[in-house]
Structures are given as structure tokens and as C-alpha cells.
Amino acid sequence: MKTLILFGCASLRQGPRAIAQAKKIGLHPILIDTADNIALFNAGYDQTVEQHVVKDKSYKAAYLIINKLAKSHNLAAIYTFEEYSVEICAKLSQTFSLPGSSPESVSLVRDKSLCRNCLREAGMLQPLSARVTSFEEATLFMKRSAADLYIIKPIDAAGSQGVSRIERDNKQQLSLAIALLLPVQQKNFLIEEFVSGNEYSIEGFFHQERPVFLGITSKSLFPGDSFVESMHVFPAKLSSSLQKNILHQVKCALDATQLTVGHFHVECWLHDETVIIGEIHNRPGGDYIHLLTEIATGIETYTSVFKQFNSLPTTDVTSYGQIYNVGIRYFNASPGKLSSITGIDEVNEHPNVILTEINVKKDDHIQLITQSSQRVGCMIAKHNSVDELLELLDWGTKRVKFEVD
């Protein structure tokens, strides 16, 4: 039996399904993560899986454990669905001669500035951008640009952490945007022209180093200046011509980055009918998008990749059709001290609701949402009709109320 290393995968959102799907196709999964993450995982996971603890998720710490395991296990692959572990896994896969995208390609897409430049050099439309190290360099960039709005963001963060929109020549907004970055990020960050348009993401996986597209996800944001998603719906309601255009552009982008193995999650803007590629990730989509695609298409998220690691036929995971429209909607709550939550039981009783999640408890202080980790909870539902799905998600988020003092 071959062994699959699941590195940094002690997450209750994806871990149990990844473990189950690995076992289902005859792989022996081994979970490697930090002690804190594994403790949290085990508190909500009641099945058996081999586990090993690392002091941190560095290459050195991971190598020491995996090198020892390689002496007694037939390793099939080293896999992660965690954004901050994809580079380490790519390097480890290369070290142990296991399947994976090249470390150079993964590092490229993790660096937003390098990725922008790569796509631009490939002839793809990209917003004007620059890697800067200070307030003065950011100001100089804006003087050389003709745009009115700009985005400040970390080079390699995720979950909308540190993302701000600023107006041209507004020094106060620029100072605040830089202050919202972590200290290490303030010395190396991205400034780019703001792109308007509807936002989407494209989900899929590589098969024999070629992309297989599961579909396109639509994205909605919380009101105001937030860059945090409030809703995802899969598949997106788009004309066939727009879908073909988006998928063509994504294939060009993936070819340019030379990613070849695992999952991909590619973000884009649609301005009228012009497609502009955003960030590219060598992992499944977060925010439960990995579950939406599975329910909508009937293709198990991790099986599609794991079968290739175990040298199994993949015909059943490369041919699919739409079964449901599936969506996730995040609950909204006013800032303050949480006193009670009502309506969640009623929402859970609806036959089309797949799951609900509450991330806060009584007496927690709810913050204004500026990054994904601050969202208070969500619901996921399915329906044959996309319009009725949207009505159901709207109903559910209105029924669940967060009372604050």
C-alpha cells in the first residue's frame, strides 16, 4: 500500500474528506502538522489516522519526519490544501522525487508581483502594478499611473489579509493601508491599479499535466469597502461564450506559470466581456468552494488528484455533469459583544441546507469584517434552480440573528 503525506492538513473543513477519499482508493494517509493544529483537529475528528507532529511547518522540520517515514513507507505523494504550505510541499516533493508542480512554478504563483509580471510577459491583460518597499515608492508609482484607485496588498498573503483600496494622491489612506500590513510586509508589498468588474474563480485539477475544469464560481463581497467574500455560488450563471472565454484565458495563465500537478484555483475579473486574471493558487478553492464543486458535479475533490498518485484509472473523475447549483453564504453580524444567536436550528432543518457553521460564541467580541478569519459563520445549500438557491441563502442568513450588546 502506498502512503500519502497530508502536510498542514489538520483542518476540519477539508481534512476528514481528504483522509476518507485517500483511504477509499487504497492509500495510507499520514497527517503531519503542528501540535496545536492536530489537537484542534482531533477534538472534532473521531476516526483513526496516523499522525506526526512538527514543531513548525518549515522545510527542515518536515524533511526530518518525512525522510524517516520514507524508510518504512512507499511514498506516493506529499499533498497539501493549505496556501501557506504549497511551496514547502513542492520542494519536498522534488527532494523525494514525488509528483508535484515544480518549486519554481509554485513560488511564482505565491508571489503576486512575480505572477503579475509572468502573465504580462505572456501577453495577458494585467493591471499596472509594482513591488514597493516604502510609502515613498508607492507614492511615486501613483504619480506615474493614470488611475484614480489603487490596491495595496501583501506579496504572498491570503484571506484578504492586509488588502486596502486607496484613492489617488490620498496620503492619509496610503499611510493607513501600509499600517494595516504586518511589520514584515511593510518592507515588501504590492501596489496595483484597481480593477472594477464582477469577480469569479475557476476550479479544477491537473490530469497528465493538463488542466481539467470543474467550472466557474461567482463571488459576492460584503457591502462597503470590504474585500471579504460574503457568498459563492457554483456554477456561476454565465453565457456559454463567456465561460469559454474565461476558461481559455485561465488555460493560457496556467500554461504561462507551468503548474502541472494537483488542484488549481484561479481568480479573475470580468469587466464587460474582458477577462483579467487575478491570483493563481496550486490548491483547491477555500471558503468551502472545495465542497461546492464536489456536490455540484459529483466529482470528489481529492479523489481526482489522489487517484493519479496511486496510478489508478481516472476516467470517472474527468467526465462529469452538473447535478446541483450549490452556494455558500456568510452570516453578517454587527460589531459588539455577542449575547445570543437565534434561528440556526430552523435553518438546519431545511432539507436543502447541507451544513451551517458558527465560529463565535456568547460573550465573544465581534469585529468589523476586514479579513476572512473574522466572519462569524456560514450556511451551505443546494437546489436544482439557481434562483431558488439564492432565495434560500437569503432566507437563511436573515433567519440567523446575532444579538450584540
pTM for the full model? 0.94
Domain holding 151, by residue range, is 128-193
Read off the C-alpha cell for 354.
Answer: 447541507
Indicate the residue among 193, 228, 245 that finishes a domain. 193
pLDDT digits (tens, 9 = 90+) for 314-345: 776 666 677 899 999 999 999 999 999 999 99
Distances (CA, A) of 197 to 219, 234, 250, 264, 274: 11, 18, 17, 22, 9
* Domain contains 292: yes
Checking if the pLDDT of 372 tops 90, the result is no
The verdict on 14 and 65 lying in the same domain is yes
Contact between 243 and 216 (Cβ < 8 Å)? yes
Total count of domains within the chain: 3
Helical segments of 180-333, H only:
240-257, 289-297, 303-309, 315-318
Residue 373 confidence (pLDDT): 86
* Domain contains 115: no
DSSP string covering 333-378, please? --SEEEEEEESHHHHHTSTTEEEEEE---TT-EEPP--SGGG--EE
Residue 272 confidence (pLDDT): 85
Checking if the pLDDT of 37 tops 70, the result is yes
The verdict on 287 and 161 lying in the same domain is no
pLDDT band at 35 (very low <50, low <70, confident <90, very high): very high
Residue 314 confidence (pLDDT): 75
> For residue 330, which of 218, 199, 220, 197 has the smallest C-alpha distance?
220
Give the residue carrying C-alpha cell 510609502.
135
Q: What is the mean pLDDT of residues 151-179?
A: 91
pLDDT band at 227 (very low <50, low <70, confident <90, very high): confident
The verdict on 288 and 386 lying in the same domain is yes
pLDDT digits (tens, 9 = 90+) for 285-318: 998 999 999 999 999 999 999 999 998 877 766 6
The verdict on 78 and 202 lying in the same domain is no
